[in-house]
Amino acid sequence: MEENNDFDGIERNFEFWYRLQFSPIFKSTKSLVDIGDNNLYYALLPLIKKGDYTLAKNVLNWRAKTRPITKELKKLSSFLDIISELYIKFYNNELGSAEHLISKLDEYYGIIESYDMEYLKLSFLYCQSKDTDRLEDLEDKLNRLLIFYLDKMELLGLLADIKFDLGKFEDAMKLYNQVKDESKNGMLLLHINERLSMTY
């Protein structure tokens, strides 16, 4: 199932474990419902795919308290650390200097893959893309990705930024207004307000 990226199928296999592990009983005591490291690896993949990083990180931390974690679980833990560090740099406007971290994400394609991987990588490329050709190439990549993530307002916001930089102001304004209407991401809304203020 993993080879076919059948994360829904994997998730169904571990439904009982999810209910048990994240019930108030075990969550409050910060303890692990041990299903073996191999099963745990597969159980965590759908959580990471959906972006439930805190839940996955908590489970890995609880697991590490009992005995050294396996190579496979270390890989998941490293991925979560990279994503967390990249978001810190993103919010500190330092993503453009995070090439070493972005390159590490390539190691996880075909294994984990998540929306955040794509978003952070495209955001990094945007920081590096100042000429028209690169921006247009990035615009095409975003349009293709939005077929799968149409509900992700961060991607729409990034697409609006690119259109803005390309001088497609009317298209950019429509996207900015859509994001403002539908997003609850305070950092994103602040950024959009700053962009909109540049037009007045």
Segments making up each domain of the chain, as ranges: 1-126, 129-199
- Rounded-to-integer distance, Cα 192 and Cα 198, Å: 10
Q: What is the pLDDT of residues 155-185, one digit of tens each?
A: 999 999 999 999 999 999 999 999 999 998 8
Q: What is the pLDDT of residues 137-161, one digit of tens each?
A: 999 999 999 999 888 999 999 999 9
Measure the CA–CA gap between 164 and 177, rounded to whole angstroms. 13
Distance CA 44, CA 76 (A): 8
Residue 1, classified by CB atoms within 10 Å of its CB into exposed (0-12), middle (13-18) or buried (19+), is: middle
Spatial CA neighbour of 180 closest among 150, 156, 161, 197: 156
pLDDT band for position 8 (cuts 50, 70, 90):
confident
The pTM score is 0.84
How large is the average pLDDT for residues 50-72?
Answer: 92
DSSP 141-172: HHHHHTTT-TT-HHHHHHHHHHHHHTT-HHHH
* CATH no. for 129-199: 1.25.40
- Evaluate if residue 51 carries a pLDDT over 60: yes
User: What is the residue-wise DSSP string for 102-132?
Assistant: HHHHGGGTTTS--HHHHHHHHHHHHHH--SH
1 — pLDDT class (breaks 50, 70, 90)? very low
User: Would you tell me how many other CB atoms lie within 10 Å of the CB of residue 178?
Assistant: 14
Largest Cα span, the chain: 59
Residue 122 near residue 138, CB atoms below 8 Å: yes
